[in-house]
């Protein structure tokens, strides 16, 4: 059974406000399309889900910080997996790096709530592992090496001074 998201009239769910339920529906649609080898449909659904996840991070619904960060990570990883399956390892690496860089930057952003920053740092472990797995499966990628180095430097610079 196919899940289809129907939009009538001029309704644009992203323009009318992102929601986790819409993100989940698009992600499910992308997964179904990918499993049925409908790559174009999967790409479209995953890209829309990523757009929603990015918007949700800007202003997470109350009490949903964890879900919004997870949605962002999953969206990047789903799209990266689809690119890798198509043999496009550069775009897959770029997406994985974007996710990791975003989480590290968010975790260090003193203007964001401490809870959101802690959640971002915790999820950066997942994106770190995804980068390492990409390297293990394919080959050394300069963007991944630079992202890992930059993240390590940023995190060590933000920590307490050592004597």
* Residues of the domain holding 44: 20-158
**Over pLDDT 90: what percentage of the chain?**
75
Examine residue 133 and state whether it is found in any structural domain, yes or no. Answer: yes
CATH number assigned to the domain comprising residue 48: 1.25.40
Examine residue 5 and state whether it is found in any structural domain, yes or no. Answer: no
Examine residue 11 and state whether it is found in any structural domain, yes or no. Answer: no
Q: Which residue reads 């009538």 in tokens? A: 8
Q: How far is CA 12 from CA 15, 16, 43, 71, in A?
A: 5, 6, 18, 20
Examine residue 91 and state whether it is found in any structural domain, yes or no. Answer: yes
Examine residue 6 and state whether it is found in any structural domain, yes or no. Answer: no
| pLDDT tens-digit readout, 32-60 | 999 999 999 999 999 999 999 999 999 99
Q: Which residue reads 């198509």 in tokens? A: 86
**How many domains does the chain contain in total?**
1
Rounded to an integer, the average pLDDT of 69-82 is: 98
User: Any residues with CB less than 8 A from the CB of 151 and at least 6 apart, and which?
Assistant: 100, 101, 104, 124, 128
| More confident of the two residues 19 and 10 | 19
**Over pLDDT 70: what percentage of the chain?**
87
């Amino acid at each position: 059974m196919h899940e289809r998201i129907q939009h009538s009239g001029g309704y644009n769910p992203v323009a009318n406000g992102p929601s986790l339920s819409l993100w989940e529906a698009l992600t499910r649609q992308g997964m179904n399309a990918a499993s049925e080898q409908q790559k174009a449909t999967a790409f479209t659904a995953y890209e829309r889900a990523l757009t929603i996840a990015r918007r949700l991070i800007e202003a997470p619904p109350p009490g949903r910080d964890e879900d919004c960060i997870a949605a962002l990570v999953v969206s990047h990883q789903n799209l990266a997996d689809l690119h890798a399956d198509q043999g496009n390892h550069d775009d897959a690496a770029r997406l994985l790096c974007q996710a990791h860089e975003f989480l590290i930057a968010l975790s260090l952003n003193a203007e964001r709530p401490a809870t959101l920053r802690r959640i971002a740092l915790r999820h950066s472990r997942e994106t770190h592992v995804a980068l390492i797995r990409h390297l293990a499966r394919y080959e050394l990628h300069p963007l991944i090496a630079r992202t890992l180095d930059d993240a390590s430097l940023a995190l060590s610079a933000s920590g307490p001074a050592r004597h």
